[in-house]
Amino acid sequence: MIILAIETSCDETAASLIEASERGIVVKSNIVSSQINIHRQYGGIVPEVAARAHIEKILPVLKQAIATSGIKHPESSIQLVTVTHGPGLVTSLLVGLETAKILSYVWQKPLMPINHLIGHIYACLASNSQFPILNFQFPAVCLVVSGGHTELVLMENHHQFKKIGQTLDDAAGECFDKVAKLLNIGYPGGPAIARYAKLSSIRNLVSSIQLPRPMINTKDYNFSFSGLKTAVLYKTRKLGKSPTRQYIPEICREVQQAIIDVLVAKTLRAARDFSAKTVILCGGVAANDELRGQLGQKLKTKNPKLHFLVPPKNLCTDNAAMIAVAAYFQYQHLSAKEKNKLKNNWQKIEPDPNLEII
């Protein structure tokens, strides 16, 4: 079936068409228009500015996704329209949602709402041209790490998700972004910190900086990152106006490693406790090379039989292909009656900024 997906939950306007069947998934087009350059001047996302940019971009992005998909008659070929309905910024979500509702109504297509975080999980199955289809082996433990969320999710099958842990304060991506802001090294913070951290390891600097690993030894699957940001703030303040040239690379390497150590420890614990067959790393922070490498390595050492899945880097950050793939798997598990009900969704679906996996 051919699926059209729209994603506008935060600061990326995205549309994608996929062709999915039991034989496999082909991403026909995947267009992402990022607002990073707009928000850079503010050092973070300004919701009103984001919503306005979505309004300007949604139609060009949609048209480009259709044009580059090679699909000639979208109104007859597309069988399902899908859209992110939460969590996210309400004014951003509304733009994608209203667009999807109009398409569903005008083209008379079923409309399926998708949870953004579940979309991130399915990004693992969205890399181009997979034949035969890649599938999860259950149970799967999913570490979803983005700018707004840090969660461990247990997935028993394609329609059974349970949140087993989450951050009690800042998300991991938020910690990267806030630390980068206070060090004044650029936006978004994750890639900026990763670049400086790499510089420090290339120079093989031996660091004297030590940061805490918050909650690393607690028996639950929760996280806390706000103390890490405060620790960086105090260390930086102490140096006054004259930090050494080595300071920025060293502190970046240490803060990145502190975040990774906690994420890896909790994921290993959850994988062991729930006898996971698959571990999935996803969300924007999953684009971090060190996190991908270190988690993969540790899992392999602990349990060589475990499958470790992580999306290609371009599918870690927000995109619509992941929403399309999630919709395909969710659709397969609906009864005929439930599928039929999707036709009236254009009248019903509302954005849910606080939508949760429970």
Binding residues for Zn ion, per CB under 5 A? 146, 318
Q: Counting contacts by CB under 6 A, is residue 119 touching ligand KG4?
A: no
Question: Exposed, middle or buried: residue 116 (CB in 10 Å: 0-12, 13-18, 19+)?
Answer: buried
Q: What is the residue-wise DSSP string for 61-116? A: HHHHHHHHHT-S-HHHHEEEEEEEEESS-HHHHHHHHHHHHHHHHHHT--EEEEEH
Q: Counting contacts by CB under 6 A, is residue 176 touching ligand KG4?
A: yes
Least distance (Å) from Zn ion to the CB of residue 8?
11
Task: Report the residue number, 30 or 146, with the smaller CB distance to Zn ion.
Answer: 146
Task: Report the residue number, 298 or 339, with the smaller CB distance to ligand KG4.
Answer: 298
Q: Counting contacts by CB under 6 A, is residue 288 touching ligand KG4?
A: yes
Residues in binding contact with ligand KG4, number by CB under 6 A: 19
Question: Exposed, middle or buried: residue 107 (CB in 10 Å: 0-12, 13-18, 19+)?
Answer: middle
Task: Report the residue number, 19 or 250, with the smaller CB distance to ligand KG4.
Answer: 250
Q: Report the sign of the C-alpha dihedral through residues 270, 272, 277, 281, in that order.
A: positive
Q: In this structure, are residues 98 and 70 in contact, taking their beta carbons and an 8 Å threshold? A: no
Q: Report the sign of the C-alpha dihedral through residues 228, 229, 233, 239, in that order.
A: positive
Least distance (Å) from ligand KG4 to the CB of residue 167?
12
Q: Counting contacts by CB under 6 A, is residue 295 touching ligand KG4?
A: no
Q: Give residue 86's identity as a one-letter amino acid code.
A: G
Q: Counting contacts by CB under 6 A, is residue 351 touching ligand KG4?
A: no
Binding mask 9-38 for ligand KG4 (x = CB under 6 A): -x----------------------------
Letter string b/e over residues 284-320, b meaning 16 or more CB atoms within 10 A of that residue's CB: bbbbbebbbebbbebbeeebeebbbbbbeeebbbbbb
Q: Counting contacts by CB under 6 A, is residue 146 touching ligand KG4?
A: yes
For residue 217, what are the CA distances in angstroms to 22, 231, 266, 295? Answer: 43, 19, 9, 17
Task: Report the residue number, 66 or 180, with the smaller CB distance to ligand KG4.
Answer: 180
Give the residue, chosen from 228, 287, 327, 342, that forms a contact with ligand KG4 under the rule CB under 6 A: 287
Please report, as residue ranges, which positions from 184 to 223 form the binding site for ligand KG4 (by CB under 6 A): 188-191, 194
Question: Exposed, middle or buried: residue 55 (CB in 10 Å: 0-12, 13-18, 19+)?
Answer: middle
Task: Report the residue number, 104 or 146, with the smaller CB distance to Zn ion.
Answer: 146
Segment lying near ligand KG4 (by CB under 6 A), choices 70-78, 104-112, 242-250, 280-288 = 280-288
Q: Counting contacts by CB under 6 A, is residue 151 touching ligand KG4?
A: no
Least distance (Å) from ligand KG4 to the CB of residue 240?
27
> Among residues 354, 351, 317, 322, which one has the least CA distance to residue 96?
351
Please report, as residue ranges, which positions from 45 to 84 form the binding site for ligand KG4 (by CB under 6 A): none
Task: Report the residue number, 118 or 251, with the smaller CB distance to Zn ion.
Answer: 118
C-alpha span between 173 and 290 (Å, rounded): 14
Q: Counting contacts by CB under 6 A, is residue 317 touching ligand KG4?
A: yes
Q: Which residues bind ligand KG4 (CB under 6 A)?
A: 10, 146-148, 173, 176-177, 188-191, 194, 283-285, 287-288, 317-318
